[in-house]
Amino acid sequence: GQQVMQIPQYQHVQEGEDFTTYCNSSTTLSNIQWYKQRPGGHPVFLIQLVKSGEVKKQKRLTFQFGEAKKNSSLHITATQTTDVGTYFCARGAGGYQKVTFGIGTKLQVIP
């Protein structure tokens, strides 16, 4: 499957600042998933978005799926040091599709 593009690749923020990572596809996505991987750890599933224009929140994390289902974003409000890690968006899953990961955005939070 085609990859999804993520920007930025790296982001350093001061603790308490907000953070956003963007995921873009050249083709329409059936759904998008987001994962977090802590340093030295394995990817952990955060959420799946399916509907056009969908917005979901998990505490300080807000996930959006674009109206055209070609892009998505993850926004973290008031970052904490526990938010450090790499955030991956991934296309696919469902039916006979497998999940295809982007390159990820590595977030560093400076205390």
In the complex, what is the shortest distance from the CB of residue 96 to other proteins, in angstroms, rounded to a whole number? 6
Cβ-contact 104, 85 below 8 angstroms: no
CB of 32 to other proteins, least distance (A): 11
φ, ψ of residue 82 in degrees (nearest 5): -70, -10
The CB-of-42 to other proteins minimum distance in angstroms stands at 4
Alpha carbons 97 and 30: distance in angstroms, whole number: 10
Nearer to other proteins, 16 or 94 (CB): 94
The angle subtended at Cα 72 by Cα 13 and Cα 109, nearest 5°, is 15
Residues that bind other proteins (CB under 8 A): 31, 33, 35, 41-45, 47-48, 88, 90, 93-94, 96, 98-104
3-state DSSP call for residue 77? coil
